[in-house]
Structure 1
Amino acid sequence: MNGADEQLLTDLFRVITLIRRSFDRAMTEQGASLAQTKILMCIKAQLGTARAADIAEIMNLAPRTVTEALDGLEREGLIQRVPDRDDRRVKRLAITPAGEAAVAVTEPLRLQLGGKLLKALNPSERRHFHAALQKLLQGLDDA
């Protein structure tokens, strides 16, 4: 890898880090962090059938990481664990009204922040950037 490639990767990782920090800070101020919002949306998409193991698989996270995140969401009153009707050993995840309210505020904010971010690129630059990202993703899928 040459110096220009190394700088490109450094800049890419810096952009990713700054985007996450910026989004997370703004979203946390409104009720749920970026990570919490992602988990809440994942639970919501499962329509009350999700288990911690399902969330870990969908989000490609370690089960312990998901358990700790769910513990925090439960402490904050954003989710609740509900015993499965057919197997009392299994806990299903449900979003509380407070969790629904957090998603209702933070998800539109995430989209708004993304729109502001992309305004730095003109439509042609966005198309080229998207195409380059697709190639990177394909390369990762192939690896």
Structure 2
Amino acid sequence: MKTTFDVSDKLFELYHRVHRLINQSMTEEGVSLARSKFLFFLNKLGPCRSTDIACALNFAPRTVTEAIDGLERDKLVARQPDPEDRRAKIVSITDVGRIALEAAEHPRKQLIEEIFSALDDEQLDQLHEIVSKLVRRTDEIRERREQEEAVRPAAAAEA
């Protein structure tokens, strides 16, 4: 019988292998997996501030600024002044960025199909159910920890 740590290690191993393989294929098409996250976000939601991107993708603002610098240098995104705040810039995906994102998405989807073709429909449904259950449990734990964290400062202030 496998332990929870055996299964967890195997899941992490799978994630890292799939991530590396997809990143390599996407990079060969011109946009790495990391860069495609920014482009996908901008393509889906439209122009926005870098602070909005940082918040949505859960990245440090400095990381987003550096990524946008590189994407802008490669003409994949453009920055324009924010009409509501002259200190801020609005970032948007360019036509070149859309073309690059589209080109990189094809190998990603193809690899995912190829990897998951190892499972039949029933196994795929079971895996989806199991992973969904683990995602829900993870969310429950995160929410509980956030609540506990919120209670700590209040309890310390009362003491």
TM-score, length-scaled by structure 2:
0.83
Uncovered stretches (5+) of structure 1, i.e. residues with no partner = none
CA deviation profile, 1:104-143 (whole Å, cap 9, x unmatched): 1112322222111110111111111000110110011101
Equivalent pairs: percent with the same residue? 37
Aligned to 1:62: 60
Query: Which has the larger displacement, 3-12 or 25-34?
Result: 3-12
- In structure 2, what is the equivalent of residue 10 of structure 1? 9
Partner of 1:97: 95
CA distance in 2, matches of 1:135, 1:85: 44
Runs of 4 or more consecutive aligned structure 1 residues displaced over 3 Å after TM superposition: none
Equivalent of 1:133 in 110, 116, 131: 131
Tell me the number of residue pairs that the alignment of Structure 1 and Structure 2 aligns. Answer: 141
Match of 2:26 in 1: 27
TM superposition shift of 1:33:
0.5
CA RMSD of aligned residues (A): 1.5
- Aligned pairs for 1:99-118 (under 5 A) are 99-118=97-116
Larger radius of gyration: 2
Task: Give the AA of the match of 2:4.
Answer: D
Question: Secondary structure at the residue paired with 1:120?
Answer: coil
Query: Greater CA deviation, 131-140 or 87-96?
Result: 87-96
Q: Which runs of 5+ in 2 are unaligned?
A: 142-159
